[in-house]
Chains A and B, each alone.
Chain A
């Protein structure tokens, strides 16, 4: 084995097929990655990128196809085989034990011990420190993971792979949870790795990252190879068109907002979490009708507690929340809904939908008590069907005959459309949208953004909370940055940029 061409290839995946039941997740997918290059795998959510990489790392078994690493045919049945062949992977959801220290996490599975199996932390710390100096990844080896920022945790993950002498490093959506500054650091790190001759594979759907650091790009759409290209030869626009399969505008056509009166107001709000720690700390904001108020911030800076306080799922310890002058803190969710607040929750599976209910039943969740859908506690099937039909049509929930279908069988995008349909049809004064495009593909994302803008133009107040800074910048009219439970600063969206917000998100405003 081993033609000169194959010798040059770090990874060759040939004719990979993978089925989940009758559903074909990967169909005859090929991937060639040259040694020492940075290679992006571009595709929408659910296109099969992660599945392909999980197969390469031995987390998932292909139904057909061959894998060559450095020209050698391998049967990778288990991550162990992948590690032995110097493949490392940084998973999207970090594989770190939160209660362990950095050193413990890095060592796990390849422990440094004396001959009796007793752990040698001194040696481990030394080895890790050497690695971190070599690749410029500074870290405190004795710190526990649960006390570290997401960016630092990712650093631990990269060190974990390097500690196992990985020559090929796979990163699954590495920037999804990082602040812009952390993204910059990561990109630098990846360049350093490439300089040391490592092969880097990045799974992503963010084009600017690909343009910044990658040499090659393989595009996958619906489980099929679309193209493999040299990144420099194509524009972002061309890449995105290949990814989604049609010509698409990257920018949303946003008209100018015409804000009117203040309808929603929070004053000096403080909310504690279950452990009694202040998560929302003396926070105030005002939202006018006809504007989208975006809150940007790194995860776990009080966003969840803020939403739970607004929707009365959590008790407020001080401060007021007012809609159209009416105080609604510490009441019941039912009263909150009745006073004109609708919510697109963060987790559609757990909070937004009853997964084992049909589409119709889910659409009915807020309206079941209302005349004419029910009378004297009895549901009117005919009226309910008409109601469901009209919403399915109006909001283009697909497939069109999905009325009786269980919600869990719908795609993520259509599940989100269902939630939007249900919430918007309440005709609220304030629409709270929390991470409304999380896990959606580009098409569905565009739909959600257009819908938010439409609600704005209908004169609603919209509160958009998202970890995706690009989303906030694209959609919101006003941008507030939340840090440690407090709004650090509020901008008109035209008057700021990604950098400025990024610094504030990371706590640089103090």
Chain B
């Protein structure tokens, strides 16, 4: 029993940063802007979160400023891909270089030449201390996870509702499928896309901050380490839907947790191979399960009014 709850808690913990970023990816790509910049934005969010939380001694402030920082960074991608109709792979790649580079530069500048941030306060955990005291020794002890996990899963519900039950969702999905149709009905495609891309940057920023403020409690250049790309795979595997993405993030989170559990003392599997597991799984999932049918039709295609 204890082991099961431990596994569950760990899975949720590892799924959460992916989930934040992947939800961002869903929003952006549903509106028709490809977003491979999640990795870069997450890294920048992780740095900003740790730095602000350390300086202000407030993990919440760090978390929210990280979202803002993510939004700010991704807005470069928005300008390039929406207004200037640049190649979205190139501009996303640029941000994937810019985010980590900027983080490292600022870290070294702020923390006396160290690429590592000092320890920052963590995001609060779900249940207050006196409650956990009473649970000590029971399996439920391990269930006391970060509030960030709850926020991420609440966002799934929120975005699902937004997408399928509100007029904004209808417009976002239509923009990703047929922007010209949206335009001819008097809705501004560019505004829709800007909002969606910026939201996706904010969510990816949260995802990064969750890494540096909950999973760990500081920033290092390897904090994010490819999770933005795993999140991207989760977007595809989840067929661009919030609920699908949730399930695929749980799968990847589970894989990651497996490496932690199996990597304990006395295992016979070399740790290097174990650490590969989530990434190998990502590749396998992408190769085996991805059909093309559910891609938003206009994903990655810049919109120009009157162009055929």
Contact = CB atoms under 8 A, between A and B. Distances in A.
B177 A98 contact: yes
B177 A99 contact: yes
Q: Which residue, of A83, A93, A100, has the highest number of chain B Cβ atoms within 10 A?
A: A100
Interface string B294-308: 000100000001101
A60 B308 CA distance: 13
Contacts of A97: 173-174, 177-178, 181
Nearest to A83: B186
B305 A107 contact: no
A142 B185 CA distance: 20
A83 B166 contact: no
Contacts of B183: 59, 79
Nearest to B291: A275
Given A59-B305, A117-B166, A78 B177 contact: no
Contacts of B165: 118-119
B33 interface: no
Nearest to A160: B185
A95 interface: yes
A55 to B, nearest CB: 10
Interface string A41-69: 00000000000001001011000000000
A59 B306 contact: yes
A39 to B, nearest CB: 21
Given A98-B177, A100-B177, A57 B167 contact: no
Contact of A60 (B166, B170, B173, B306): B306
A242 B196 CA distance: 50
A111 interface: yes
B170 to A, nearest CB: 6
Interface residues of A, number: 31
B122 interface: no
A111 B167 contact: yes
A97 B181 CA distance: 7
B171 A108 contact: yes
A278 interface: no
Interface in A72-90: 78-80, 82-84, 89
B186 A78 contact: yes
B181 A54 contact: no
Given A104-B170, A113-B166, A117-B166, A98 B178 contact: yes
B301 to A, nearest CB: 15
The dominant DSSP class at the A interface is: loop
Contacts of A108: 170-171, 174, 181-182, 185, 187
Interface in A110-164: 110-111, 113, 117-119, 160
B180 interface: yes
Interface in B157-214: 165-168, 170-171, 173-174, 177-178, 180-188
Contacts of B182: 108-109
A91 B178 contact: no
Contacts of B187: 108-109
Given A57-B184, A79-B183, A113 B167 contact: yes
Contacts of A110: 185-186
Nearest to B296: A99
A240 interface: no
Contacts of A9: none
Nearest to A104: B170
A111 B170 contact: yes
B1 to A, nearest CB: 41
A59 B180 CA distance: 10
A100 B185 CA distance: 15
Given A100-B174, A117-B168, A54 B185 contact: no
Contacts, number: 76
Nearest to B164: A119
Contacts of B166: 113, 117-119
A476 interface: no
A96 interface: yes
Contacts of A59: 183-184, 305-306
Interface in B64-103: none
A80 B177 contact: no
A107 B170 CA distance: 9
Given A79-B184, A83-B186, A91-B184, A119 B167 contact: yes
Contacts of B171: 108-109
A118 B164 CA distance: 9
A330 B184 CA distance: 44
Contacts of B306: 54, 59-60
Interface in A266-313: none
Interface in A333-376: none
Nearest to B305: A59
A95 B177 contact: no
Nearest to B169: A119
Nearest to A95: B181
A117 B165 CA distance: 8
A160 B184 CA distance: 11
Contacts of B186: 78-80, 82-84, 109-110
A369 to B, nearest CB: 35
A80 B305 CA distance: 14
A78 B188 CA distance: 9
A89 B180 CA distance: 13
Contacts of A96: 178, 181
B170 A119 contact: yes
Contacts of B168: 117
Nearest to A60: B306
A296 B305 CA distance: 34
Contacts of B181: 95-97, 105, 108
B131 to A, nearest CB: 35
Contact of A83 (B173, B185, B297, B305): B185
Contacts of B180: 95
Interface in A418-433: none
B161 to A, nearest CB: 8
A26 B173 CA distance: 36
B193 to A, nearest CB: 15
A109 B179 CA distance: 12
A448 B85 CA distance: 38
A95 B187 CA distance: 13
Interface in B264-308: 297, 305-306, 308
Contacts of B167: 107, 111, 113, 117, 119
Given A95-B181, A97-B178, A117-B168, 13 more contacts: A59-B305, A79-B183, A95-B184, A96-B181, A99-B173, A100-B170, A107-B170, A108-B174, A108-B185, A109-B171, A113-B166, A119-B167, A160-B185
Interface of A: 54, 57, 59-60, 78-80, 82-84, 89, 91, 93, 95-100, 104-105, 107-111, 113, 117-119, 160
Closest 10 CB pairs of A and B: A109-B185, A80-B186, A111-B167, A95-B181, A97-B177, A97-B178, A109-B187, A95-B184, A117-B166, A97-B174
26 contacts: A57-B184, A59-B305, A60-B305, A60-B306, A80-B186, A82-B186, A83-B185, A84-B186, A95-B180, A95-B181, A96-B178, A96-B181, A97-B181, A104-B170, A107-B170, A108-B170, A108-B174, A108-B181, A108-B187, A109-B171, A111-B167, A113-B166, A113-B167, A117-B167, A119-B165, A119-B167
